Structure 1
Amino acid sequence: MPANVKDLPRLKRPDVERPGSGIVHLGLGAFYRSHGAIYFYEAMKKSGGDWGIVGVNLMTPPLQREIFEPQGFAYTAVSLAPDGIKPQVIPVLNDVLDAPEDPEAVLTLMADPKIKIVTSTVTEKGYCHFPSTGKLNREHPFILEDLKDPNKPKSAIGYIVRALDRRRKAGIRPFTMMSSDNLPNNGHVVHAVVVELAGMIDPELAEWIEKEVTFPCTMIDRIVPATKPEDIEQVAELTGVYDPVPVMHEPFRQWVVEGKFVDNERPDIGAAGAQLVEDVTPFEHMKLRCLNGTHSSISYLGYLAGKETIFETVSDPVFAAYCKFLWEREIIPAVDAPPGVSLEEYTAALFERYSNPSIQHRTWQIAMDGSQKLPQRILETVAEDLEADRPVPGLSLAIAAWMRYVGGVDERGNPIDVRDPLAEKLKALSDSGETPRKKVEAMVAVDDVFPKVLQENKAFVEGLVSAYEGLVEKGARVMAEQVVA
């Protein structure tokens, strides 16, 4: 292999018939290309149909089209199994558009009657809402931009609303709007913010969306670590070609989808293994609380303790025991299992997934955007536990670890690169508090994160203060050990 992988031949799209485009995806990141895009690709292989995808990059730089176009918009997806890695080429993308470069091209495409479904993975913060209430943040800079010029929206919500408006005015049936983000009731969340923004533009548009557009809820599950330069080199060594945009993922995957589509037009994702159900809620609660809740908890504590990855964190017997404690004592009691599912077996399988040495999922990556993630991943569980008089020392420690993390300094005094929409505000609140108590009280008062029921629970706040003090005095590992003891 040449010293520079860029000297290898470029990945080429397989010489197979290209389907027509029926799906637009907003937020073309690694997760979607490792999950939803593969389901759609496999559905077409089994059942046919014009369900090719046009990906839309909403943020720039970097420009994505110039990266994907030389390889025919194909990319390599790599399954990271404990017994070895398995690459496959995915030729499901027909094009990639960079929205900031050409917003008109994106709106024209979304308004095309051939497009039946719009999907999105823009992360929690991409919906420009308040996670604690689900309401649209009308003062969000992106929303303010969305209102200025109908031909140059900024947010995913802005593109959705303006494209639907074009279809309404042209007498074209709407597309199905399907979120693939880790949000509880994600379809309901997107529905609410889309209708609210539409109402600010034209009440008749909002009424039409309410009547005609469907927003199916979904539950998605697959661990997808960020692609690193060494991953690109490894893929090149395996395949003999250069692909600058491979995606790495665990073998496990799950997609539970509410079967509500406009005019019932959709690819046969059931043939590819997706579960089409009437109610996603029990699957969603199980995953958000059991997987995402522990993922966030051990990422903050693990990072503070100097652990770089989830695998490294759960390889430590203290954090392994802490993770299992959370499931047994605080999370499973607050979860209603979906029909036919054993939560004990589900969480045991989760631990095996965390323990996969081939998955190097960085604690820093999972720790991003905690202010947007904590309400649904942890705080809802805490509120239900407290309502049922169940103690929450483990989850309180996780919340305190988040508070220390957003303070921007780890246990060794090193700076933390905190990535969060509220990073500046949270850092200022942390800095303004001279004692752990003052820091905790200042951050608990942030309405964008903490619901009133927790803000006003004195015992809960005292537990956070005690946990924060312990983190400062003893460190994350000792505190996790004490919780389990």
Structure 2
Amino acid sequence: MSTAAPETLGPALLGRLPATVQRPGYDRALLKAGMAHLGVGAFHRCHQAEYTDDLLARTFGRWGVVGINIRPPALADTLGPQDGLYTRLIRQDSHVEARVIGSIVRVVDSQATAMPALEVLSSPDIEFVTLTVTEKGYCHVPASGALDLDHPDIVHDLANALTPRSVPGILARALEQRMATHGRPLTLLSCDNIPANGTILENVVRTFAERRGNGLAGWIAANAAFPSAMVDRIVPASTQADLDGVEQLFGYRDGAVVAGEPFRQWVIEQKFAGRTPRWDLVGATFVDDVTPFEHLKMRVLNGAQTTLSYLGVLAGLEHTSDAMADPLLSAFVRRMLVEETLPTLKPVPGMDPSAYVEQSLGRLKNTAIRHRNHQIATDGSQKIVQRLLNPIRDRLGEAKSIALLSVSVAGWMAYLIQASSRFGRRWPVSDPYAGKIAGIAEASGRDVPALAAGILAIDAIFDPALAANDMFRKAVTSALDGLLSDDPMATVRRACAQPADERLKQPARSA
């Protein structure tokens, strides 16, 4: 005897969800689109879309979200059939909480052509745009923040401005269409893990617009705002187990399930071009300067994640929680943060940095958040500047030890080097500089000083002054030599075994 297949999540199912599943606290039939989001991945659905869902339940208004993807995944295959609805799971060890989020009212796929995205972004109904397009989506030079004019997509878009395919090109074209039609202002809020992300976004868009001419750059300066933001919640990529879990626990199917940790934070710079969703009413914080918050989060939480991802892979561990369960790696990352990272941070209003370190490490122990080290390791060349290199630069400027932070940088190098054919292609990697580093590895063989020197010469990642610093070069080269050995964790053990006061006695030369 056959059993009927579970029903798929959609508007018709909302009223019949199990009592254990929370649902939107407002009438979605009345919800109109007022903002767009570019890059509807797991993080957006577990963060900004949830905040917006909270806001709509508290103070209903015209802030429905149009989701736009210009890169995979295709929304029409996931959120489209469900009318934008999806299940957000919160997981803490053995506890699971389910909630259906309803703030996304429409989804648009724009992989084949920019036209669907441009239609949404240029609409007078859209007054606010948020973005989670990952660091490499900005087509910038990580070391400087400038628009990468040699990026293939930027080269294409400057030659074909009416059919752009990059984020800067699409946004510049949408703003150009707004200027030519209704002239309504627009706020563009970056929610990616880039320091001064609003400044970076404004810089790449306005630089692109300046190349276009026709007064666009001036119009953008007068009619668009690019506030910075700090976002925080650990959200792994969704898995088939997440989808199956909803069906097993709650009895319905959902092709767009997302799972995250309980903690969330959103700090937004108060710099808007027009009407703004009042996310501050539902837990977000509006501030005049995001910088102290973003430095704390990027250097502590993200610095720990990056460190654990590379060293975790080298230790043969699959998830962040596995790395945190390893006594050596957990001791190393705590000492790195406390002894070398924290001293580089300025005071953060209302926050105790030392307590934040312990809170962050506690979050990384959550066994229900199956955050794969290889996933966190993705695009490391775009991340290490703010997470590791900037604190190293600050430490060198004060003639302080960088012995622990240097091991983390060497971990990133070793991770990419060992993916090259010279080292047996131990794992696939995803990084814009993976090919270049593989070439350096092929040319250098197992000559570690040559390997380190070749990678440090990549000035899009390493500021030349930092790369030339003798203490930095020696520390990274020594750590890389150990991490490429048959016992990579011996290097981590040595770093942990050395007393802090001994490390601080090391001679330093300012970068």
CA contact (8 A) 1:440 1:464 kept: yes
Q: Once superposed, which parts of structure 1, at least 4 consecutive aligned residues long, lie more than 6 Å away?
A: none
The 3-state SS of whatever aligns with 2:78 is helix
1:63 CA displacement: 2.5
Q: How far does the alpha carbon of each residue in 1:17-58 deviate from its partner, in whole angstroms, 9 at most, with x for none?
A: 331101111111111111011111111111111111111111
Matched, 1:473 2:485: yes
Aligned partners of 2:95, 2:307: CA distance in 1, in Å?
Answer: 28
Q: Select the residue among 42, 52, 67 that pairs with 1:40.
A: 52
Aligned partners of 1:408, 1:63: CA distance in 2, in Å?
Answer: 32
Q: Which residue of 2 aligns with 1:157?
A: 168
CA contact (8 A) 2:337 2:357 kept: yes
CA contact (8 A) 2:124 2:182 kept: no
Letter of the 1:445 partner, please give it: A
Shift in CA distance, 91/254, structure 1 to aligned 2, threshold 3 Å: same
Letter of the 1:221 partner, please give it: D
Q: Which residue of 2 aligns with 1:53?
A: 65
1:466 CA displacement: 0.7
Alignment of 1:283-362 (within 5 A): 283-362=293-372
Aligned partners of 2:349, 2:121: CA distance in 1, in Å?
Answer: 37
The more displaced of 350-359 and 165-174 is: 165-174
TM-score by length of 2: 0.91
Shift in CA distance, 483/203, structure 1 to aligned 2, threshold 3 Å: farther
Matched, 1:247 2:245: no
Aligned partners of 2:317, 2:423: CA distance in 1, in Å?
Answer: 12
CA contact (8 A) 2:417 2:423 kept: no
The more displaced of 281-290 and 233-242 is: 233-242
Letter of the 1:57 partner, please give it: N
1:431 CA displacement: 2.0
Q: Which residue of 2 aligns with 1:404?
A: 414
The 3-state SS of whatever aligns with 1:252 is coil
Aligned partners of 2:243, 2:162: CA distance in 1, in Å?
Answer: 37
The 3-state SS of whatever aligns with 1:31 is helix
Matched, 1:395 2:372: no
Letter of the 1:327 partner, please give it: L
Alignment of 1:56-455 (within 5 A): 56-60=68-72, 62-202=73-213, 204-263=215-274, 265-409=275-419, 415-434=426-445, 435-455=447-467
The more displaced of 162-171 and 8-17 is: 8-17
Aligned partners of 1:194, 1:474: CA distance in 2, in Å?
Answer: 46
Letter of the 1:407 partner, please give it: I
In the alignment, structure 1 segments of 5+ residues that lack a partner are none
Aligned partners of 1:438, 1:71: CA distance in 2, in Å?
Answer: 54
Aligned partners of 1:462, 1:431: CA distance in 2, in Å?
Answer: 22
Aligned partners of 1:366, 1:17: CA distance in 2, in Å?
Answer: 35
Q: Which residue of 2 aligns with 1:483?
A: 495
Q: Select the residue among 35, 45, 56 that pairs with 1:23.
A: 35
1:477 CA displacement: 2.2
The more displaced of 183-192 and 144-153 is: 144-153
Identity, % of aligned positions: 35
Aligned partners of 1:412, 1:325: CA distance in 2, in Å?
Answer: 30
CA contact (8 A) 1:67 1:244 kept: yes
CA contact (8 A) 1:283 1:337 kept: no
1:368 CA displacement: 0.5
1:474 CA displacement: 5.3
1:103 CA displacement: 2.5
1:145 CA displacement: 2.4
Letter of the 1:87 partner, please give it: A
Q: What is the number of residues matched between the two proteins?
A: 480
1:83 CA displacement: 4.2
Letter of the 1:10 partner, please give it: T
1:142 CA displacement: 1.2
1:473 CA displacement: 2.9
In the alignment, structure 2 segments of 5+ residues that lack a partner are 16-26, 498-511
CA contact (8 A) 1:44 1:268 kept: no
Aligned partners of 1:184, 1:405: CA distance in 2, in Å?
Answer: 24
Aligned partners of 1:475, 1:171: CA distance in 2, in Å?
Answer: 63
CA contact (8 A) 2:209 2:216 kept: yes
